[in-house]
Structure 1
Amino acid sequence: MNHDLYLDASGLRADLAAAALPADFSALVAAHQAALQALLTPQALADTEVAWRYRVPELGEGGACSLFGQLAEQPYDLTGLLGAPSVDNQRLVAEATIVTRYYRAHSASHWFGVYQARRKPDGEPVLVKLAYFGAESRAEFPLTEAFAAGSNNSAVGLSGRARLINDVAAFVAEGGGYYTCDPKVKAEACLPLFDADRRIVGILDSEAFDKDFFTGPELALIVAVAATLSGGEIARPI
């Protein structure tokens, strides 16, 4: 997706209007998008080694929160929700993996993840984490209004409106609902992902241990990643 279209679809244009963006912001976004597209070739999507299983924290009582630093005995298996590692599933997880590696190489962020909107066998809508770097975190976020009251991931996954939080403590003090995965996090960017018709197909989430992190080049990078994913493999019909 063109990044100008992405800014409109996600509601970020209004937020950025008040930000002190570098003069070359659009050029930075475009450069990252071009680099990402060069990496996301059909051959790379077919050949990239992906992780179908990963470690996750134990969930607290009722599953509403994760127990930080306490890992579940069994890893999470993506094939339980995506199905067997088919050609389409390989391309999907490979896209998320390649983008995650690129973001890690170019950002000072401490955590990053790509999520797709899916329905569990019982019909429950969730966001499922396809690829990430950083500390272990929960695999699925319920896409419900109740859960969204305390989770940026779920809130953005339902509304399609991006959230840039450059001071988590101030956000919480002002009454913002916040799902704490790592108490060291001081800034978070949670951006929606869209298909060609601007329907929400997932989110990406980035977290940093520094306040005022998502500005300038870091902001340009994450906008480029979100715009590139929007309309990609993650947006194909399920």
Structure 2
Amino acid sequence: MFTGLIEHIGTVSDYSPLDSSESGGGGVSITIADCAPILVDVHLGDSISVNGVCLTVTEFDSEKTHFKVGVAPETLRRTNLGDLKNGSPVNLERAVTSDVRLGGHVVQGHVDTIANITKKVPDGNAITFTFQLRDTQYITYIVEKGFISIDGTSLTVTDVNYSTNEFSIMLISYSQGKVILAKKALGDSVNIEVDLTGKLIEKQIEISLESQIATEGSALVKLIEKIIDKKLESYKLK
């Protein structure tokens, strides 16, 4: 679990599409350098969020200035990690511990989809970004003033356009130098993780409705029967 408060910006030093080493796992691996400050207390097998994606550390160099992670095919399909190349900057955050203040929001590191930047407009000392989702079904979980994780950064939604599947955030001056979003241009992609709360509420409602519909005499079934009876009665009166 993460907070969405980026600790450090690292640099991709090696992107391997087929890493046959034990630490690469025979698939895609990414080695990230320039990140010694956050590796002091990190061990092999620990989780680090890379651009919002929870990944497992599989290797360090001898001086612990860089680390390697393997990337599964499903992760490549869901995220923009496949677009990284040597020299790409990445947002990094270690998994939370029991004594970490939750200054952002609960971020799982399980990216839902990607979005592309459609607008980038200066607003005083801030920048307003607008994004359009690739997978439109996730727009229902995005609400004005709600939380969202963009490349692992916890941000507040300032506007939502459900007809175009777009939403906006404002990046304040302080954050512009702390995360990679400020350097991105129109058309660039970002990783999106919607707030887990909305998905949990939807699933609980769905399960509850299915259970009541399947149960004879439940409150929902009685309500439906009552509505049907009223409709039939009204047709008889006509």
Select the structure with the greater relative contact order (CA < 8 A; seq sep ≥ 6).
Answer: 1
Q: Larger Cα Rg: Structure 1 or Structure 2? A: 2
Q: Relative to total residues, which structure has the larger helix share, 1 or 2? A: 1
Same fold (TM over 0.5): no
TM-score (norm 2): 0.28
